[in-house]
């Protein structure tokens, strides 16, 4: 059996290695347009920053062997044609036409099974100046070498990163560590559109503390300079800079597949079934070039991730070799490190869930990631999205200085298993003070959700409170923190009555008004609401997340 694989970064090498294990007698040919094979593209920002010292580390096995063409030939029995471009797929004759980029020599390679792993291409906006020196994308090792060379020219530079997505933020850390002054320009009203607004705000706030300028709702219109970048022009003014990183997203590389007559999905990726099989039963596709299925909605989605590419490459190879396997879909589970700040998400956000027709309940739950008395405990802020009718968890977002990835992983498992918050609240998660609170953050947040769903208390979001303040609504915004906390950080339009004194000062609170209670994280706010309700107050609500998750400027 002849198996031809087009693409040699993530899904392609994984598929080739799997074919070798399942069908050792197969003739496997891997075609890669670039020079480098099987490298960790997600590690490129860390190579730029210097955390990863040597380029080869991105292409090595865990024991330090470089995965080059010799490695694939000798160990995997895969013939690699790198620096070779596939230019045409003839499905009738089952041949792939390839051209060697150095010699220009053209040849045709026959296949019995073909696997597309052509990846994605960076989006570069059609504006003036993108061809100037020191305008970069970060798609491959060659790009990272160009950025490192530019950084080497001077000790510090002014850098503009266009796009506030994951790669843009990871590059922000990498460049700041190299002494650069970084400005992020994002067209949307917030950075990280994979997060809900109030969670993304926490990331913006952290970036500003670290000295990074964040310009949202700002569109790049031109890049200026004579031979090299000197500034960028936006609809909100001009920003001087020495170089620019384009990080506005990627689109699936489907030109070859489209020319071959394969079906393209609604999201622009190659349409595949759960076997990673295209509209041609002898052709499979995997990785950033394909359209996936959202596990919650069942609808097509395009979420390019290295983890997904590797899993899909394995499934494609299994089925190409006649071993039935299925890839069910994705949740977009993602984690990102930004200096000392951690960012993670999985499943649906609030607005996405509402657009899909779910009756949504949300929970904002800030707390330490370990036992509060443990010296290394650090805060994390979580948002749960729950379906009110079924009580199922639909999504989780978490940010903060503490550990978020294990909470995201638990949530991904729970969403996949269609678990309710009642199920999650009683999960037998491990506990010891250096690792988590006695009741882990996701368990506590699930119990808050249960209390809401069961009608044990009413809540409002910080955004709803801000709208009430802006409208001039007549309500009591009751702060039950200590006087010391109040003096350190305070919200506008508040009345301070510490929780310990509330029972003795109930007469100061009007019973005919809406009362919204809060504290640092709103645990005391919840207790205050119970005191008020017991005392006969009828319209009492708790502000979710408290001061910690107030997504606006805070005075002192």
Helix (H, G, I), strand (E, B) or coil at 167: helix
Please tell me which residue in 23, 42, 301, 519 is annotated as part of the active site. 42
* Helix, strand, coil content of the chain in percent (nearest 5): 30, 30, 40
Q: Per the structure block, which two tokens stand in for 280? A: 């041609």
Q: What distance in Å separates the CA atoms of residue 350 and residue 405, rounded to the nearest whole number?
A: 20
Q: What is the tally of helices (H) and strands (E) in the chain?
A: 15, 30
Q: What distance in Å separates the CA atoms of residue 15 and residue 323, rounded to the nearest whole number?
A: 13
Helix (H, G, I), strand (E, B) or coil at 324: coil
Q: What distance in Å separates the CA atoms of residue 500 and residue 479, rounded to the nearest whole number?
A: 12
Return the closest-CA partner of residue 349 out of 309, 307, 294: 294
Q: Per the structure block, which two tokens stand in for 356? A: 């899909």
Using CA atoms, how far residue 516 sits from 113, 496, 528, in Å, is: 64, 12, 10
Using CA atoms, how far residue 456 sits from 17, 448, 509, in Å, is: 55, 10, 22
Neighbouring CB atoms inside 10 A of 48's CB total: 26
Using CA atoms, how far residue 114 sits from 4, 12, 20, 33, 90, in Å, is: 5, 11, 14, 16, 11
Task: Report which secondary-structure segment, H or E, holds 239.
Answer: strand 237-240
Q: What is the 3-state secondary structure (H, E, C) of 457-482?
A: CCEECHHHHHHHHHHCCCEEEEECCC
Burial class (CB in 10 A: 0-12, 13-18, 19+), 504: exposed
Q: What distance in Å separates the CA atoms of residue 418 and residue 386, rounded to the nearest whole number?
A: 11
With the C-alpha atoms ordered 51, 57, 59, 62, is the resulting torsion angle positive or negative?
negative
42 is catalytic: yes
Using CA atoms, how far residue 454 sits from 9, 21, 388, in Å, is: 50, 53, 10
Q: What distance in Å separates the CA atoms of residue 520 and residue 412, rounded to the nearest whole number?
A: 28
The strand order across the sheet containing 237-240 reads 220-224, 231-234, 237-240
Q: Just list the catalytic residues.
A: 42
């Amino acid at each position: 059996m002849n198996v031809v694989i087009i693409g040699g970064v993530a899904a392609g090498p994984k598929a080739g290695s799997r074919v070798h294990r399942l069908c050792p007698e197969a003739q496997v040919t891997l075609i890669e347009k670039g020079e480098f094979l099987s490298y960790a593209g997600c590690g490129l920002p860390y190579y730029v920053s210097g955390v990863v010292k040597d380029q080869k580390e991105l292409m090595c096995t865990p024991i330090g062997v470089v995965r080059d063409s010799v490695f694939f030939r000798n160990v995997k029995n895969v013939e690699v044609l790198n620096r070779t471009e596939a230019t045409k797929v003839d499905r009738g004759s089952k041949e792939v036409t390839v051209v060697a980029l150095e010699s220009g020599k053209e040849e045709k390679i026959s296949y019995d099974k073909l696997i597309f792993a052509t990846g994605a291409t960076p989006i570069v906006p059609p504006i003036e100046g993108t061809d100037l020196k020191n305008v970069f994308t970060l798609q491959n090792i060659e790009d990272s070498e160009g950025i490192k060379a530019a950084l080497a020219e001077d000790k510090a530079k002014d850098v503009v990163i266009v796009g506030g997505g994951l790669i843009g933020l990871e590059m922000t850390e990498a460049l700041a560590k190299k002494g650069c002054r970084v400005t992020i320009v994002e067209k949307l009203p917030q950075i990280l559109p994979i997060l809900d607004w109030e969670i993304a705000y926490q990331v913006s706030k952290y970036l500003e503390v670290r000295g990074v300028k964040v310009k949202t709702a700002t569109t790049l219109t031109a890049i200026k300079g004579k031979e090299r970048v000197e500034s960028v022009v936006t609809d909100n003014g001009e920003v001087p800079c020495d170089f620019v990183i384009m990080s506005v997203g990627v689109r699936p590389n489907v030109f070859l597949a489209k020319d071959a007559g394969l079906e393209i999905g609604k999201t622009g990726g190659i349409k595949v079934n759960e076997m990673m099989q295209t509209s041609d039963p002898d052709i499979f596709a995997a990785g950033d070039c394909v359209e996936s299925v959202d596990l919650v909605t069942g609808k097509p989605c395009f979420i390019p991730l290295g983890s997904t590419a590797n899993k899909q490459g394995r499934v494609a190879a299994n089925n190409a070799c006649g071993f039935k396997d299925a890839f069910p879909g994705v949740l977009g589970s993602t984690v990102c490190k930004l200096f000392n700040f951690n960012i993670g998400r999985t499943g649906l956000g609030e607005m996405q869930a509402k657009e899909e027709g779910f009756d949504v309940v949300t929970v904002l739950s800030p707390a330490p990631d370990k036992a509060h008395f443990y010296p290394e405990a650090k805060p994390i802020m979580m948002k749960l999205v729950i379906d009110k009718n079924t009580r199922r968890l639909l999504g989780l977002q978490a940010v903060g200085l503490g550990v978020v990835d294990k909470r995201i992983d638990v949530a991904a498992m729970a969403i996949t298993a269609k678990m309710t918050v009642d199920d999650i609240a009683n999960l037998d998660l491990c506990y010891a003070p250096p690792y988590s609170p006695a009741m882990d953050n996701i368990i506590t947040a699930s119990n808050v959700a249960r209390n809401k769903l069961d009608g044990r208390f009413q809540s409002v979001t910080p955004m709803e409170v801000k709208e009430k303040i802006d409208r001039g609504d007549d309500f009591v915004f009751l702060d039950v923190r200590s006087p010391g906390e109040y003096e350190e950080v305070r919200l506008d339009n508040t009345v301070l009555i510490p929780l310990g004194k509330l029972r003795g000062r109930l007469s100061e609170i009007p019973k005919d008004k809406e009362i919204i209670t809060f504290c640092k994280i709103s645990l005391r706010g919840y207790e205050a609401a119970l005191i008020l309700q017991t005392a006969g107050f009828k319209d009492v609500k708790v502000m979710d997340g408290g001061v910690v998750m107030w997504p606006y400027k805070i005075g002192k």
